Structure formats: structure tokens, C-alpha cells
Amino acid sequence: MNTVAPEVEWLSLAQKALHGDCLTLQEGLAVLEADNDELLLLMQAAFKVRKHFYGKKVKLNMIINAKSGLCPEDCGYCSQSIVSTAPVKKYTLLDKETLLSGAREAMARKAGTYCIVAAGKGPTDKELDQVVDAVREIRQTMPLKICACLGILKDEQAKRLAEAGVHRYNHNLNTSRANYPSITTTHTYDQRVETVEKVKTYGMSPCSGVIIGMGETNQEIVEMAYALRELDADSIPINFLNAIPGTPLEHAGRTHSIKALKVLALIRFICPSKEIRVAGGREVNLRTLQPLSLFAANSLFVGDYLTTVGQDISADHQIIEDLGFEIELNAL
């Protein structure tokens, strides 16, 4: 059996990515459907691209759930949605001091980016005032990059966030256009795209990613990667569904660890120069293979997520050290 051909094939995809050429649908499917025995060859090819753009540095991001459990949207994956019966904490937007305390915790964890996330379709003017006030003080007192994720924005809201000093705005595509109506009906896929385009207009760095494991086909995963490439988001969080009891997707199975790694390699090939972040659900889906994810991705969420618990920060720091990688401090 010839064991050289697969390596040449995967390295050829790396070269294609480095030259700025996009993978064909057939090539993308080949990545997702590769024999598991070829995993290390595939990850080595992805690492060739990752190393070209980011060396061995790892960006760390930390989330604060700034408003919880009061969302009128019906997103099937979310424990905070109106259709969820999951027993999550419910509270209005956190006060300024709590947001500042979260920023200090992000620094203690060596996170370069602090993400202020609030459940809801979009912020009220009062909520925006609170976020803007906190952002201004964080910018004046701490060397942190700030990302906001507050839902669908109006033009004036986007302008105010940018003027306050928000570096980045997150609004995920979540799934494919075709699969979107089966996941959410209270807003549209196009509204999400429009929000990402809007934040670009006001000078904020666009952040948009997906959730793997919500019934999408392999072809749809490739199409999701194409959509992210077209959107030209600077940062791409790749979440793997953590099926929470009480949500419509509570019975969805986990994404196999090796499949999750193939998805990360695919995104690296199709969006070669972008920050690719291993995000929600990584502990549950990647399990003991988490370290391999950093051969394709160059960024991690650290600490807890919105309503689920992440692993201890010391474990994340240990993974990075054991790989011979280094944390990129204060990195956007």
C-alpha cells in the first residue's frame, strides 16, 4: 500500500491555501471524509498554513455572560432561549463594576481579548449605554482588546460601540443557509450577515463563526466554510454543540473528536489567514485530543462559556506549554 500519496495530497491543499486559492467542494469533502488513519498527515498540512500566518503563538479570549436567560429568540442550541427549559441563571445586564471585574479576570488568565456577550435579539439603548460606559473605562485602565456580542445592531448602536473603543464585534452565522430555518425562526440568516457587514462599516473587526453538530451535512460544513471566507471575518470561532438538556437539540449526539479536528483543518485551508478559535464545546467534543486542535487553530476561549463550564485555566496553559507554543499576550 502506498502511504506517500495521502501526504502529498494534504500538503498540496496547504500549498493551495498559501497561494490564496480556495479548495473545491470535492477537496473540502475529501478533508471531512478522510480516512482516520491519515489524521496526523492532515493536521500537519493544516499546521503548515497555521504556522505560516501565526507561527506557534496562541491567542486567548475570555467571555463574560453579561445578560442571561432572558432571550426572546428560539435558537434550538441555546439554553437561554425562550424555548429552552434548561435551569439557567436569569439576570439583566450586569453592572459596570461586574463587567470591569470580568476584564481583570481576563487579564489574570492571560487572555488578550475580553468578550462582553448579552443574550437577546439586540441591545436596548439603556443596555448599550451600560456597555459603552464599561468599555470606555476598560480601555482607559487595561491593555485589553474588547469584543462585544450583543445581537443585531442598528447603525447608531454600531457607531457608538466603535466610538467607545470596541475593537471587535461577534455575530455568528452558526450554520448553513439551508439549515438555518431548522435551527432558528425568529430572525434570519441574512440578518446575521447584514450585522457583520454593518460592523465593518463602522471600523470594528468582524468576528463570525459556526456551531458544528446541529444536523448539517458534510457538504453544508464546506458551504459554511465558503460563507465565512466570503464574509471575510477576521476571527472565526468554531463551536461544537454541547447539547444541553432542556433545549430542542438536547438529543443531538456529540461530534466525534477526529471529525472535529477535520473541521478545524478544513476551515484553516479555506480561511488560511484568519484567527480560528476553538470555542464552545471543545472539552466535550475534542476530549483528550484538544491539544491537536492547535495545529489548525491559533486561538482558544478560556474559562467558562455562557451557561456551561470550561476547563481549568491551568489545563489550557499547560496544553500550550507542552506543545512548545506560546501565549500571544494582548493580541486581537
3-state SS, residue 324: coil
Q: What single string gives the DSSP state of each residue in 294-307? A: TTT--EEEES--SS
DSSP 122: S
- The set of catalytic residues is 71, 75, 78, 115, 147, 207, 277
Is 207 annotated in a binding site? The answer is yes
Amino acid at 94: L
Max alpha carbon distance in the chain (Å)? 66
Amino acid at 247: T
Q: How far is it, in rounded angstroms, from Cα 239 to Cα 277?
A: 8
Q: How far is it, in rounded angstroms, from Cα 304 to Cα 65?
A: 9
Q: What single string gives the DSSP state of each residue in 178-201? A: TTGGGT--SS-HHHHHHHHHHHHH
Amino acid at 49: V
> Three cell numbers at 44?
500537519
Is 147 annotated in a binding site? The answer is yes
Is 75 annotated in a binding site? The answer is yes
**Burial class for 230, CB neighbours closer than 10 Å (0-12, 13-18, 19+):** exposed
Residues composing the chain = 332
Is 277 annotated in a binding site? The answer is yes
DSSP 174: B
- 38: Cβ contacts below 8 Å, ≥ 6 apart: 6, 10
Is 115 annotated in a binding site? The answer is yes
Where is the binding site, in residues?
71, 75, 78, 115, 147, 207, 277
Where is the binding site for [2Fe-2S] cluster, in residues?
115, 147, 207, 277
